[in-house]
Amino acid sequence: MSERKKISDAKGGWQKEHFDREIQKRPERKSVFETTSRISLNPLYTPTDIPEHHYLESSGFPGAFPYTRGVYPTMYRGRPWTIRQYAGFGTAKETNERFHFLLEKGQKGLSVAFDLPTQMGYDSDDPMAKGEVGKVGVAVDSIDDMRVLFDGIPLDKISTSMTINSTAAILLALYVSIAEERGIDRRVLSGTVQNDILKEYIARGTYVFPPGPSVRLITDMFAWCAQHLPNWNPISISGYHIREAGSTAVQEVAFTLADGICYVEAGIRAGLDVDAFAPRLSFFFNAHNNLLEEVAKFRAARRLWARIMRDRFGAKDPKSLLLRFHTQTAGCTLTAQQPDNNVIRVTIQALAAVLGGTQSLHTNSLDEALGLPSDRAARIAVRTQQVVLEESGVADVMDPLGGSYMVESLTDAIEARAAAMVASIDDMGGMVKAIEAAWPQREIEKASYEYQKSIESGDQKVIGVNAYSDEREVVTEVFRLDPSIEKNQIKDLRKRKAARDESAVRTAIERLDNAASGDGDLFPPILDAVKQSVTLGEVCSTLARHFGRYREQTKVR
């Protein structure tokens, strides 16, 4: 009898003797345990739960194909993840002050949040922006705001991530422009623009243009960055917002990688060699509460992407196969009730990201379900990462959970289910076609509905909400914006517009207009325009004359 057969028989006997008897003694216990992706969990895992060929593959080394155990050979022993806190509110001046505060507390990179008008291509004085200026991020209308936003910050020494999608090309152009004003070689700039428009149609809604022109903007940025910004990630393909909209872990992996496939295909159609831009693709994932499922999710995503790039696209450069990713802890899990509990949730989620091999990490603040983070809450969020890094010991070993029977089994299950979903999207004609048919949107809606039902029934416990909720509430100080911010931002913008060289502005807009009307590269005229103080809203209005503004088609089913 083989060793695996002996283990399997012994496991079956153990379950019959102990587990069934325990259920009979305590019938109130759950009889079915499963992850948030509805993957059933065994009461015990042994080597028999891992196919032998997968076990051999998973017992490989970090930095070796298929990168299950990490994208770099030494992982955190060689370099820790980047502690990167997402920040942005009100005016550029206020956000600049928060950036300096975070850097002084030990943060290693900046992550910028922009307000909704900036994200959706409107200047602060546009009627569509009324009531939203500076609310959920910083308002950036022109190069003047960008100068203030990064005043005193060494752009050649820090890495900057900008959470911006529809207007990503404009914000990157502004960033490059202020660096060049300071005499900084653009080739040393490092960072990321999120720039993932497909997930906006799926899960978030801050789109400006239709899918076709939006993807054109992205591929033009790929080409420009490959030539001029070698250390910049021109896209961060985002599963984070897909998960925040209610998806399962499996859906997060599948839809994110399907978006990635679409971008790679678009780059190749635009005439780019896959190895010219794929090494700078990056990803952005959510870290949710189910610790071991999340660890397995990250490992499965790395493995699946490596195979897609090698086998589907024929990438030759090993760097093209690497799924490098930023992680943010799950905002949707934070509760307004008993907000101090959020520190515990965030710590678990941070551990999942680190044990899963993230390259950078943002930890949410405890009060984000109530309002913008206070200084105290932001400090605790940074300290959470520092405690995990410096005190927990989990970063001292590469892939410390590698070889865990449960983690390896979950990694296999998530990879297989995500690959099947990607195949279904391929059968529909790709992600754009799937989005137009609203398939991923419906799948996320179903998953979100099922999860909410489980909370309301009590099957899914949320501490302080549907369990242990009778404790005295602790009042948490909430950070509030000065209501005069919008008025002052509009006043300053109008002054800056009046002081511009109108001839230079008109010339820059005409050049952009000509590029948009044909098939020329869009990024160079955008860069030229922002240098002439053309505003973000003016750039978007010029492009919209040719591309139109996208409006989602609502279908009653």
Query: Which residues of the chain are under the pLDDT cut of 70?
Result: 1-4, 11, 14-31, 52-59, 471-477, 479, 481, 553-557
Q: Is 475 exposed, middle or buried (0-12, 13-18, 19+ CB in 10 A)?
A: exposed
Residue pLDDT, tens place only, 23-50: 566 555 565 789 989 999 988 898 888 8
pLDDT score at 86: 73
pLDDT score at 27: 53
pLDDT score at 49: 87
pTM tops 0.85: yes
Extended beta strands in 196-350, E state: 232-233, 235-238, 281-287, 325-329
Spatial CB neighbours of 481, under 8 Å, sequence gap ≥ 6: 89, 90, 134, 135, 372
pLDDT score at 226: 92
CA distance 424 to 434: 9
Starting at the edge strand that comes first in sequence, how are the strands of the sheet with 325-329 ordered?
232-233, 190-193, 159-163, 109-113, 82-87, 360-362, 325-329, 281-287, 235-238
For β-strands 281-287 and 159-163, DSSP reports them as unpaired
Q: Are 314 and 274 in contact (CB under 8 A)?
A: yes
What CA dihedral angle connects 245, 410, 366 and 466, to 10 degrees?
80
Q: Which residue ranges make up each domain of the chain?
A: 65-457
Residues in a beta bridge with 282:
236
CA atoms within a 13 Å half-sphere pointing along the CA-CB vector of 144:
14
- Phi and psi at 548, nearest 5°, equal 80, 170
Residue pLDDT, tens place only, 457-503: 999 999 999 999 876 665 566 767 677 889 999 999 999 999 999 99
Say if domain 65-457 classifies as CATH 3.40.50.720: no
* Cα angle: 187, vertex 190, 194; to 5 degrees: 120
Q: Are 371 and 136 in contact (CB under 8 A)?
A: no
Residue pLDDT, tens place only, 425-462: 999 999 999 999 999 999 999 999 999 999 999 999 99
pLDDT score at 556: 42
